[in-house]
Amino acid sequence: MVDTSIIAGGWLAAGLTIFIFSFLYRDNPFFKIAEHLYLGAGMGWLFQVSVNSVWIPKIWEPVSKGELLVIIPSVMGLTLLTQFIPKLSWMSRYGFTFMMGYGSGLAIPAGLSTDFMSQIAGTIKPFSLLASLSAMDIFNALLVAGGAICVLFYFFFSVEHKGHLKKVSNVGIYFLMVYFGAAFGNTVMARFSLLYGRFDDLFTFSGSNYFYATQVVLACMVLYFLLHGFFSGKKEDAAGEEAA
Amino acid sequence: MKDTLQKFFKIDRRWIFLLLTVTLFVPIVKPIGLPNKSISQATTRVYQNIEKLPAGSFVLLSLDYDPSTRPELHPMAMALVRHAFAKNLRVGVVTYIAGSTGLIEELFARVGKEYNKTYGADYVILPYQPNILAVMTQMASDLFGIYTSDRNGAPIGGMPVLKGVKSYKDMSLIVCVTGTAILDYWVAYVGDKYSVPVAGGVTAISQPGYGPYLQTNQLKGLIGGMKGAAEYESLIKQPGKGTSGIDALNLAHLLVLILILTSNIILLFVKYF
Amino acid sequence: MKLIKKHIPLAIVFVTGVLTLVSYYVPHKVSVDYIETMNKWENIVVAFAFLLGLISLFFSHYHKIKRKGDGWGYSLFVFIGFLAMIIPAYTSGGKQMVEGVLTPLGWAYKYIYTALSGTMFAVLAFYIVSTAYRSFRIKSPQAFVLFVAAFILILGKVPLGQIIWDSALGWTGQNAAGVIEWIMSVPAVAGKRGIMIGISIGAIVTSLKIIFGIEKQYMGKD
Amino acid sequence: MIKHKAALALFLSLSAPALLFAAKPAPEVKKAAATPAAINGLTAVDMPYDAGNAAILKWPVDPAVAADAFYVVYASSLQSGGWVEADRFAAPAKTGKDIELPFWAWDGSVLEHAVKVELNNLFGESGKDAVFQFRVAAEKNKQVLAESRAVSVTPAGNWFRLDRLNNLVLLIALIVIFFWAVSHAKRKGLFIRRIAGLDAIDEAIGRATEMGKPIFYVPGIGSMSSISTIASAFILGEVSKKVAQYDSQIKVPHFDPVVMTVCKEVVKQSYLEAGRPDSYREDVNQFISADQFSYAASVDGMISREKPAACFYMGHFMAESLLLAEVGATSGAIQIAGTDVEHQLPFFFTACDYTLIGEELYAAGAYLSKEPMLLSALKVQDFGKLFVMLSVFFGMILVALGARFRWDSFVPAILNLFQNY
């Protein structure tokens, strides 16, 4: 049922996963190997994506069909690479300035509309439905509007925050804190879900159909740490922890 | 006394790591079996929107997540497909994230078999497209203008699953499962513009951001994070990875709270006694 | 020389910036065509910018191997990892699955890349827990509010937490899910809105400075 | 929302007689089917403010058409024939009020139907002078009740999106204020209030000097184009100036080579200004790694080995914020952080002694350096915030009053002002 490539994959995945987790105990060569592999594999994945979704369809195919306009951005892109040659590195400015100009030109109106006007509209819109709102809804709408004003005032730098103004900006901080707290809580859940995903995979690979990949790799790691600890003595061990 | 407490405070953090490993791994091996109690309104709305569709309706799923958000989003997508298949709906799948193609194959290889569904008649998987906006706009008039074949190059023209489906007008619902901003695109460029119902499934981190859309009914429902996946699974009465996930997270969440409390109580103690 | 080295690049930033900006307000086909072309061009330039990172990574590890510097052996694995993705990608023509069977690329993606990247981020879960114990200090009223919000969210998201909530706070008539929904849609929205608006104006002003050539640190020194 | 409701209510009341009408005996309907009545007053115009691929059809609302009937819009790109169904909707729907344009750009009335037809969806891209034909029919139970004559229009591309005028006005205001602030800052300087976290910076440097331990300044993983990194470079300038004065030690580990070259200049300059160019060493700035996690792990290692007296984390941070701040806190350093990445702020806030939140980081850079450009940028930001605060405050009051006293065209007008199109 389970063919060899899947079993081999299971062993590889279980191994790499445990190698990276082993860093939590202390830095070790296996983690370093996995980490360097990750660096290379990540770059490799991005490279194949850009070859298959940009270079071939967006540069190679148009050029071979005679659409030569794409050569301009390709040249601009190539100038970026002059960064590595100090004497010519000024050429890279042609590419950079194009990217910065395009990005800035796009960001300004988009920022004004989505983060600026829409947010004002979103804050005052509930009040237009006043007739159909319950007392709680009105309270909430007021809280959102008032809270947003206080937070904005906290970030207002042109006047000294003294007396009553100080109170306004203090209220702002508390709204910020609620938001940070909520973000903290959500992040906890998200990261744990990820960890659960990895553990669940490890559990899958620990089955007999994978020939107990997880257990074997884990046992090898433990053995390595025991032997390493035994031969290099206790002293280094204590120093290793905080570096982790 | 104080010194002992101080020492307790400066405990080697690897003990904490070990504690987390145990609290998270044990429930995977041996589930606690606490039922998911509450079901949020937003998740129920997604469920109802699928539940009310007559058999044979066409639902478009936009599955845009890669392995880094898989634990949260894959169970959701799976529950949605199960629900659609159980209701005998026709399902079309599109994606705008390069990394999701493998996950989609995996999902349908499994759920398709469970429900005895045939590829081409009951569901179709369309290829990855990098340019979201162009595709979304094109599908408003004629989806065959941009998709001529499925992800393996087979022509989709004669497939029964797409019979009578040409544009958004012929679709009953669009559900986008994603950890990116693609759901925003569906809402802004498709849902609002062509008045098709759009619902979504997102990660716990991005969930708070969609409150405004839900409030205005621009989104017909939202499944958020692993909790949402568990809720949906209990709605369709098919516990899966979401349910077992939330079960496993029980103890870990509690552990975090206990740790924060302990450290602060010790702190108070050291300070005032 | 100053013209080619400095003035023309600044002219490029100004012209592309202003044209892109103006195209938002001009609906004419000319402007639509312009922005579509720019989108394509940007896509291509960015693909080269990616090469920048790739080459500098290769350079540094190549030098390490050549000099036999500290831990040069590990640097070999950077290249192995790269090849482990590139070779299957070449043989599979960029496809991850053909007729329900994983191609070599699909295999490499699933068992190497997924395992590595997923685990790298999963490690953060451990650090969150240890931060919670070792450095989450309620040292001010503000930190207390943050703590309360985080506490409710962490507790109320799991069934066990909801059971605890109901038995301890059930008398208030509020359930955990309801309170979480309120926090998310009222005070957290106010906090987020305020901080978001401030940061976005900052970004707008910086973009203006870049277009007008006032901010040019990104160009490096002369 | 309210305008939809109002339109709907109006329609229900208008179509009430029509409902009665519809209940009339069958022969009447048959007669209507035999010779369809006319829909009068159909006009087609170019859709304003678009690229020239849509048209708008208008015709008066006819209360005689039943609410359960449908209007069907046909379009053709040919002189005669070639009709394609472009739209189909319930008779009371789609009036002038339903076209999503603001009041200054569109005068919509509930007394006429207005339908936008996207021609490129129907006929693909068309040539410059293409003429399109339209007609409208009212249908019920697949029987045509009434029909219009055909009208034609040549859609044209427009040169200005009048509906985005609000956005443009705001942008122009920002630019004008920016240049005013720049000239003002150069002549007289601008007032910026003191930012609370800055005292903590002095204190931290003082403590490091007393203890004889180094200071770590971590500029994050941003590139030189992000504002937080730019602000961080200015703060680094001030911090290293103080460090040079106190003859303390500073270390700056780097993620980005370009940021490193900029920071080298900044630190060198500060030592020079403090009058101690002799104490400047090249190894203040070190390049660590361009990979996020290796960078975090190496910096963590350095912090736990060297046990610095103070750690500064200023700039753009992602997941590594947690890794860095936790190790710093456990090693007993005074920690001051500042970033504009919202979702990392909670971790800095819990683990550090002082955190510059979002914009405070930009402001700190401006306050410390007194650079006119930074100060004037901050002024523009303040203006923007003031605008939002006032708009929200007065908008809220006006909209609430409008809703209370039923000023039906006033409330949508205010909301229009802040809407994106």
Find the mean pLDDT for residues A187-194. Answer: 88
Find chain C residues with C-beta within 8 A of A103's C-beta: 207
The CA angle C21-A156-D243, to the nearest 5 degrees, is 95
- Closest CA–CA distance from residue C17 to any residue of chain A (Å): 4
Mean of pLDDT values over B62-71? 86
Question: What is the tens place of the pLDDT at every residue in A120-148?
Answer: 988 898 888 887 888 898 999 999 999 99
Assigned token pair, A135 = 């007392």
Report the C-alpha gap between B85 and B104 in whole angstroms: 15
Q: Does C150 touch chain D (CB under 8 A)?
A: yes
Q: Which of B121-125, C155-159, D118-122, D223-227 has the lowest mean pLDDT?
A: D118-122
- Give pLDDT, residue C151: 94
Beta carbons of B243 and B234 less than 8 angstroms apart: yes
* Chain B touched by C145 (CB under 8 Å): no
HSE (CB half, 13 Å, CA atoms) of D30? Answer: 3
> What CA–CA distance (Å, rounded) separates B175 from C216?
44
Distance, in angstroms, between C92 CA and closest chain D CA?
28
Are A196 and B14 in contact (CB < 8 Å)? no
Mean of the per-residue pLDDT values of chain C: 87
What pLDDT does residue B45 have? Answer: 94
* Domain boundaries along the sequence of chain B: 2-30+257-272, 41-239
Chain C residues 8-37 within an 8 A CB cutoff of chain D: 24-32
Extract the tokens encoding C205.
Answer: 């002003």
In this structure, which long-range contacts are made by residues A141-146, counting pairs with CB atoms below 8 Å and at least 24 apart in sequence?
A: A143/C186, A143/C187, A143/C190, A144/C186, A144/C189, A144/C190, A144/C193, A145/C190, A145/D392, A145/D393, A145/D396, A146/C190
Task: State the average pLDDT over residues A197-225.
Answer: 92
Does CATH number 3.40.120.10 belong to domain D191-370?
A: no
Considering the domain architecture, whether residues C181 and C194 belong to the same structural domain is answered as no
Q: Are residues C58 and C33 in the same domain?
A: yes
From chain D, the residues in CB contact with A127 under 8 A are 396, 399-400, 403
Q: Give me the percent of chain A exceeding a pLDDT of 70.
A: 94
Cβ of A24 under 8 Å from any chain C Cβ? yes
Q: Tally the residues of chain C.
A: 222
- pLDDT tens digits along D59-114: 998 888 888 888 999 999 888 888 988 888 888 888 888 888 899 988 888 888 99
Paired strand residues for C29: none
Percent above pLDDT 70 for chain D: 91
For residue C57, the model assigns a pLDDT of 83
A28, A89, A96, A97: which to substitute to probe chain C, counting the most C Cβ within 10 Å?
Answer: A97
C45 reaches D (C-beta below 8 A): no
- Asked if A9 has any chain C CB less than 8 Å from its own CB, the reply is yes
What pLDDT score does D19 carry?
Answer: 40
Of residues D24 and A7, more confidently modeled:
A7
Please give the pLDDT value at position D35. Answer: 62
pLDDT score recorded for residue A203: 93
The model's confidence at residue D182, banded by pLDDT at 50, 70 and 90, is confident
Q: Across residues D19-23, what is the average pLDDT?
A: 40
Q: How far is residue C160's CA from residue B35's CA, in Å, rounded to a whole number? A: 9
Q: Could you tell me if A155 lies within 8 Å of chain D, comparing CB atoms? A: yes
Note the helical H segments in chain A: 4-21, 29-50, 61-64, 71-80, 92-110, 118-124, 135-154, 163-205, 213-232, 234-243
Cross-chain residue pair A186–B208, CB shorter than 8 Å: yes
Cα distance between residue B133 and residue C43, in whole Å: 14
Give the pLDDT confidence score for residue D8 in this predicted structure: 43
pLDDT in tens, D238-275: 999 999 999 899 999 998 877 888 899 899 999 999 99
Same domain, C168 and C192: no
Based on the fold, state whether residues C166 and C122 are members of the same structural domain: no
- The minimum CA-CA distance between C76 and chain D, rounded to whole Å, is 16
Please return the burial class of B71, using the count of CB atoms within 10 Å of its CB with bins 0-12, 13-18 and 19+: buried
The predicted complex's ipTM stands at 0.84
For residue B46, pLDDT beyond 90: yes
Task: Compute the nearest-CA separation of B208 from chain C (Å).
Answer: 6
| B199-239 tens-digit pLDDT | 999 988 778 777 767 766 778 999 988 989 999 999 999 88
pLDDT for D24 beyond 80: no
Most confident of B191-200, C65-74, D169-178, D408-417: D169-178
- Counting the structural domains of chain C, the total is 4
Q: What is the pLDDT of residues D398-417, one digit of tens each?
A: 999 998 888 888 888 999 99
Any domain includes C141 = no
Three-state secondary structure call for residue C153: helix
The ranges assigned to domains in chain D are 2-160, 163-184+377-417, 191-370
Task: Please say whether the beta carbons of D37 and D52 come within 8 A.
Answer: no
* 28-47 of C, contacting A, C-beta below 8 A: 37-38, 40-47
Considering B112-121, B162-171, C189-198, the range whose residues carry the highest mean pLDDT is: B112-121
- B partners (3+ CB pairs within 8 A) are A, C, D
- pTM recorded for the entire structure: 0.86
Helices (H), B52-175: 70-86, 101-114, 132-139
The residue of chain D nearest to residue B192, with distances taken between CA atoms, is D100
Residue C194's domain spans which residues?
186-222
Lowest mean pLDDT among C23-37, C122-136, D15-29, D365-379: D15-29
- Judged by CB atoms closer than 8 Å, whether chains meet at D392 and A145 is answered as yes
Cβ contact C195–D342 (<8 Å): yes
The fold of the B41-239 domain, in CATH, is: Rossmann fold (3.40.50)
Query: Which tens digits make up the pLDDT trace of B80-97?
Result: 999 999 999 999 999 888
* Residue C93 within any structural domain of the chain: yes
Contact predicate A10/A18, CB 8 Å: no
pLDDT at D5 over 60: no
Of C100, C116, C136, the residue that ends a domain is C136
Report how far residue C47's alpha carbon sits from residue D68's, in angstroms, rounded to the nearest whole number. 55
Summarised one tens digit per residue, pLDDT across range A211-221 is 999 999 999 99
Distance to chain A for B58, nearest Cα, Å: 30
Rounded to 5 degrees, φ, ψ at D140 are -150, 130
Lowest mean pLDDT among B50-64, D74-88, D381-395: D74-88
| C38, C68, C98 - which closes a domain | C68
| CATH number assigned to the domain covering D2-160 | 2.60.40.10
